[in-house]
Amino acid sequence: MTSADARLPFFVYGTLRPGEPNHDACLRGRVAAEVPARLAGALLYEGPGYPYVVKDPGGGPVRGELITAMPSAYERLLADLDVLEVYTPGDPRNLYERVRREVTLLDGATARAWVYVAAPRVAARLRASGTVIGGGDWASFRARR
């Protein structure tokens, strides 16, 4: 990881979004900014109470927020989010992988961000038999249930 990567904001699209259960539990008091953003080239899949993003060149956009951590909270937040997302670098049992992706803000500007995407074995299962969340918006999907 380069030093520029070390402080990337996070693109959140599921239970970490405002109004969702992990937002306050994980982000309260640790965030400097939250702005709506979109992730192209991906599909959103239904999971067991939380969604997964899976890379798909023709897919998207997935709707979410770009979260900028307060500098003093960044390292602890990164570690806590890795635990929440069941991500350990190089572990084949991961549910998610933390990857760098470009996201687009509502004004058309782009930003590089950390995104937790489905780990390869999970992504393969979802592509084979998963349920895509139409519109790429977890909050709207949950509101309809």
Catalytic residue list: 85
For 141, the enclosing helix (H) or strand (E) is helix 138-144
Dihedral sign of CA atoms 74, 95, 112, 24 in order: negative
Asked whether the bond before 9 is cis by omega within 30 degrees of 0, the reply is no
The CA-based angle 95-11-16, given to 5 degrees, is 70
Structure tokens at 77: 């937040």
For residue 37, give the nearest of 67, 7, 57, 59 by alpha carbon.
67
Please name the residue ranges forming H helices in the chain: 21-27, 74-84, 120-129, 138-144
CA dist., res. 57 & res. 106, Å (int): 21
